[in-house]
């Protein structure tokens, strides 16, 4: 157990943690939640030892802590992906190098009777035993499996880290941490740089993780699936909830209602008491009662008033002109990028794209598949082979992370928003900025002093407050907290225009999208329906594939068992038949008239025929194992007939081969 006792921390007069006491217990899955700036990352840094508290203590009880942070500067850029991930097993690798050194010494030692040679052998045996106990032979396949789960392909694993973006390096850091298996795993936004497939893999991996997990995430579905305990950090205090994020939301609302009712009852009691004191203060006959009530108020443990619930924040898109029915079309399009590893084909003669007014499209696919490229092609900012046709009266707005770089650094957040929404009042602008986590005096800060994430939120706010009937949004939720994502989700649900949305947040996609487009291997696959319906279809296809694979495996086993049974029966019959004498063999054999040379040639030719027939038999069995062959009953019937004929021919060839073999044996 890790114990935090009376932890306090402040930055520049702002209290982040105020006397926090908290126990992190074994095998819990803890979600740490709260608004941006509440101190979630700071708390993780304190637990990991990267940040010192102003007061209080942390005891670890011998537990080892691992922390996934949001920068990758500690990774060695010259190492390959596999080499860096294998650093999780640095102690095992050191033992392996020791074993190799001892083995070399043994091989180069001439006098095996020497005592020094015996000591080297003993050392080698001890090291070898340690490596066997720690399953050293599995560290490379284990590491490759984790890297593969996080999206790396086989050829990626031997590329230097310097050739990868920051997001891919973060995956390597996550792989190394998972393989290291600390007692407590601290994960700060682990899904930020993952695609949907990698997030699903991480969920499966963490379900069986042997230690405790504490995570910060703005991915609601990930939190719901991964946590069984939720800790809210708010105004420097921690509040614990004995369930996942969904449970937390419900329980928090119940607690707030009880708190509000208790506060209102207490306020009424205080007001009634104060009125009594004011009314009878001057009456001597009531002096004792007045004094008693004054003292009661002084000693009263006052219930604090709840801060405003952030769920009250809302955002609405500005009205935009109505577009034509057809918003955008791409046809006969291809896209190739040059790279140091050769040309990369993103799309090749992809199927046409036809976007109609009111469509709400989720664009998904593995990182690097071409989602952002396609978004820019839709906008007309990315050159490609093919044609692009824009519909009538289309007004587009686009958001991507790099847009933050074009903001005027001397402007404030309020100035930046006023530039694109000049018709709105300052109160409206402040309300919009509040939905994107800028509150109070924060709206007056110059952009140059803001973090990258804060600048991205301003760029997003500018995009969404500009009138548009077609939105193309590339990862809009990356720097939002859970409440702000909810605000954006509700606004997009009510939006009457058309949008194309790239996101790895499955809860968000399911709430807003009515179509799903998947980019994969140079093609675009389009599905009608919500993201949940898309997932259901994919799971059904996967289950069908698994069922077919099981059927193919079962059929192969049955055929092998049948062949084995037939071979055993043939062998039993052969053994029951009395072996003929050499003279009988020669007289009875159809090959008795051939000389040895002729017989050997025929025997070799028959072996070649058998080999060819066995190859054809395997090919037929593979086709028979595919249920699709029986979609046309006539095709299936013909194939079965051919297979039976081939089996008979093969059996005849084996019979002839045995007779020839016996003839050759009788002549030896």
How many Cα atoms are found within 13 Å in the side-chain-facing hemisphere of 530?
A: 11
Here the tokens at position 639 are 């194939």
> Helix or strand or coil: residue 499?
strand
Mean pLDDT of 366-383: 91
> Helix or strand or coil: residue 137?
helix
Q: What is the dihedral of CA 196, 200, 202, 204, to 10 degrees?
A: 180
How many Cα atoms are found within 13 Å in the side-chain-facing hemisphere of 149?
A: 19
Domains of the chain (ranges; CATH) run: 248-307 (no CATH), 326-538 (3.40.50.300), 578-667 (1.10.287)
Distant-in-sequence, close-in-space partners of 61: CB < 8 Å, separation ≥ 6: 1, 2, 3
Closest among 396, 346, 402 to 373, alpha carbons compared: 346
Please give the pLDDT value at position 582: 45
Strands 237-241 and 229-234: antiparallel
Mean pLDDT of 452-477: 89
Please give the pLDDT value at position 628: 65
Q: Which of 10-19, 157-166, 512-521, 598-607 has the highest mean pLDDT?
A: 512-521
- β-bridge partners, 501: 362, 473
CA 656, 661, 665, 668 torsion: positive or negative?
A: positive
Helix-helix angle 139-149:166-180, to 10 degrees:
140
Rg (CA), the chain: 36
Strands 360-364 and 326-337: unpaired
- β-bridge partners, 160: 80
Q: Residue 368 has what DSSP assignment?
A: T
Please give the pLDDT value at position 257: 93
Mean pLDDT of 7-23: 90
What percentage of the chain carries pLDDT values higher than 90?
Answer: 48
* Predicted confidence band of residue 651 (pLDDT cuts 50, 70, 90): confident
pLDDT higher than 90, residue 441: no
CA 434, 439, 445, 448 torsion: positive or negative?
A: negative
Strands 229-234 and 55-59: unpaired
- Tell me the per-residue pLDDT of 240-293, one tens digit each, with 9 for 90 and over: 999 999 999 999 999 999 999 999 999 999 999 999 999 988 888 888 998 999
Here the tokens at position 517 are 């487009």
Strands 29-33 and 498-502: unpaired
Q: What is the dihedral of CA 97, 103, 105, 108, to 10 degrees?
A: -140
Please state which of the ranges 90-99, 335-344, 446-455, 648-657 shows the lowest mean pLDDT: 335-344
- β-bridge partners, 330: 353, 388
d(CA 206, CA 202): 6
Mean pLDDT of 432-438: 84
Please give the pLDDT value at position 60: 94
d(CA 248, CA 234): 14
Distance of CA 405 to the CA centre of its chain: 28
Give the global pTM. 0.75
* Predicted confidence band of residue 585 (pLDDT cuts 50, 70, 90): very low
Q: How many angstroms separate the Cα of 17 from the Cα of each of 24, 244, 288?
A: 17, 23, 43
Burial grade of 29 (CB within 10 A; 0-12, 13-18, 19 or more): buried
Please give the pLDDT value at position 36: 79
Please give the pLDDT value at position 198: 94
* Predicted confidence band of residue 583 (pLDDT cuts 50, 70, 90): very low
**Token pair 């040895």 is at which residue?**
596
d(CA 532, CA 131): 46
- Tell me the per-residue pLDDT of 219-236, one tens digit each, with 9 for 90 and over: 999 999 999 999 999 889
Say which residue, 480 or 395, is predicted with more confidence: 395
Say which residue, 525 or 572, is predicted with more confidence: 525
Backbone angles phi, psi at 204, to 5 degrees: -60, -40
Please give the mean pLDDT across all residues of the chain. Answer: 87
What ranges in 392-504 are assigned the alpha helix state H? Answer: 413-420, 426-435, 452-464, 482-494
SS3 of 198-265: the string is: HHHHHHHHHHCCCCEEEEECCCHHHHHHHCCEEEEEECCEEEEECCCHHHHHHHHHHHHHHHHHHHHH
Please give the pLDDT value at position 654: 86
Q: Residue 581 has what DSSP assignment?
A: P
Q: What is the DSSP string of 168-192?
A: HHHHHHHHHHHHH--SEEEEESTTT
pLDDT higher than 80, residue 468: yes
pLDDT higher than 90, residue 368: no
d(CA 384, CA 335): 5
CB atoms within 10 A of CB 195: 20
CB 67 within 8 A of CB 44: yes
Please give the pLDDT value at position 588: 45
d(CA 291, CA 280): 10
> Helix or strand or coil: residue 399?
strand
Q: Residue 549 has what DSSP assignment?
A: H
- Tell me the per-residue pLDDT of 25-68, one tens digit each, with 9 for 90 and over: 999 999 999 887 889 999 999 999 999 999 999 999 999 999 99
Backbone angles phi, psi at 514, to 5 degrees: -115, -5
**Token pair 């017989």 is at which residue?**
599
How many Cα atoms are found within 13 Å in the side-chain-facing hemisphere of 71?
A: 4
CB 328 within 8 A of CB 391: yes
Please give the pLDDT value at position 249: 93
Q: List strands edge to edge, sheet with 237-241.
A: 65-68, 184-188, 212-216, 29-33, 229-234, 237-241
**Token pair 């005592």 is at which residue?**
115
* Predicted confidence band of residue 656 (pLDDT cuts 50, 70, 90): confident
Please give the pLDDT value at position 372: 92
d(CA 569, CA 563): 10
d(CA 665, CA 668): 5
């Amino acid at each position: 157990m890790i114990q935090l006792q009376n932890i306090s921390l402040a930055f520049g007069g702002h209290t982040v943690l105020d006397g926090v006491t908290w126990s992190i217990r074994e095998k819990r899955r803890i979600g740490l939640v709260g608004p941006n700036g509440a101190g979630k990352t700071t708390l993780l840094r304190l637990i990991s030892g990267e940040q010192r508290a102003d007061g209080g203590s942390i005891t670890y009880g011998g537990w080892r802590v691992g922390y996934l942070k949001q920068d990758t500067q500690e990774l060695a850029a010259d190492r390959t992906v596999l080499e860096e991930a294998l650093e999780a097993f640095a102690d095992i690798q050191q033992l392996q190098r020791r074993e190799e050194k001892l083995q070399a010494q043994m091989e180069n030692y001439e006098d095996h009777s020497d005592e020094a040679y015996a000591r080297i052998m003993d050392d080698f045996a001890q090291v070898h035993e340690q490596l066997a106990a720690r399953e050293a032979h599995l560290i490379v396949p284990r590491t490759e499996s984790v890297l593969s789960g996080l999206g790396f392909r086989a050829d990626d694993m031997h590329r230097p880290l310097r050739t990868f973006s920051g997001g891919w390096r973060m995956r390597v850091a996550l792989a190394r941490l998972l393989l290291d298996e600390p007692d407590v795993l601290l994960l700060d936004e682990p899904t930020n740089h993952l695609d949907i497939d990698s997030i699903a893999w991480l969920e499966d991996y963490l379900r069986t993780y042997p230690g405790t997990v504490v995570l910060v995430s703005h991915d609601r579905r990930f939190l719901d699936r991964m946590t069984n305990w939720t800790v809210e950090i708010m105004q420097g205090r921690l509040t614990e909830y004995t369930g996942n994020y969904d449970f937390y939301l419900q329980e928090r609302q119940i607690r707030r209602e009880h708190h509000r009712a208790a506060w209102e009852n207490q306020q009424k009691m205080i007001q009634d008491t104060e009125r009594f004191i004011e009314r009878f203060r001057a009456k001597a006959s009531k002096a004792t009662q007045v004094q008693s009530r004054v003292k009661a108020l002084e000693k009263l443990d006052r219930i604090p008033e709840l801060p405003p619930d952030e769920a009250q924040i809302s955002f609405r898109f500005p009205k935009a002109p109505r577009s034509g029915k057809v918003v955008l079309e791409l046809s006969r399009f291809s896209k190739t990028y040059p790279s140091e590893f050769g040309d990369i084909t993103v799309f090749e003669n992809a199927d046409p794209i036809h976007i109609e007014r009111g469509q709400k499209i989720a664009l998904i696919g593995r990182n690097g598949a071409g989602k952002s490229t396609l978004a820019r092609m839709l906008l007309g900012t990315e050159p490609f082979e093919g044609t692009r046709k824009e519909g009538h009266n289309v007004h587009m707005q686009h958001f991507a992370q790099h847009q933050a770089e074009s903001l005027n650094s001397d402007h404030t957040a309020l100035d930046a928003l006023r530039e694109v929404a000049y018709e709105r009042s300052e109160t409206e602008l402040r309300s919009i900025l509040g939905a994107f986590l800028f509150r109070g005096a924060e709206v007056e800060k110059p952009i140059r002093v803001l973090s990258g994430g804060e600048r991205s939120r301003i760029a997003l706010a500018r995009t969404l407050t500009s009138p548009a009937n077609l939105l193309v949004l590339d990862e809009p939720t990356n720097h939002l907290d859970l409440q702000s994502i909810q605000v954006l989700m509700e606004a997009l649900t009510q939006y009457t225009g058309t949008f194309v949305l790239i996101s790895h947040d499955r809860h968000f996609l399911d709430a807003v999208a009515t179509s799903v487009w998947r980019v994969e291997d140079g093609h675009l696959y389009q599905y009608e329906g919500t993201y949940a319906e898309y997932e259901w279809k994919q799971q059904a296809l996967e289950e069908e594939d698994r069922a077919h694979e099981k059927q193919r495996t079962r059929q192969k086993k049955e055929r092998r068992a049948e062949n084995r049974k037939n071979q055993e029966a043939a062998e039993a019959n052969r053994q029951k038949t009395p072996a003929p004498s050499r003279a009988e063999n020669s007289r009875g054999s159809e090959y008795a008239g051939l000389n040895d040379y002729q017989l050997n040639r025929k025997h070799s030719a028959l072996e070649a025929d058998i080999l060819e027939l066995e190859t054809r038999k395997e090919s037929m069995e593979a086709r028979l194992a595919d249920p699709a062959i029986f979609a046309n009953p006539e095709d299936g019937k013909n194939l079965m007939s051919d297979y039976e004929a081939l089996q008979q021919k093969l059996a005849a060839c084996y019979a002839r081969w045995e007779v020839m073999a016996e003839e050759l044996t009788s002549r030896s």
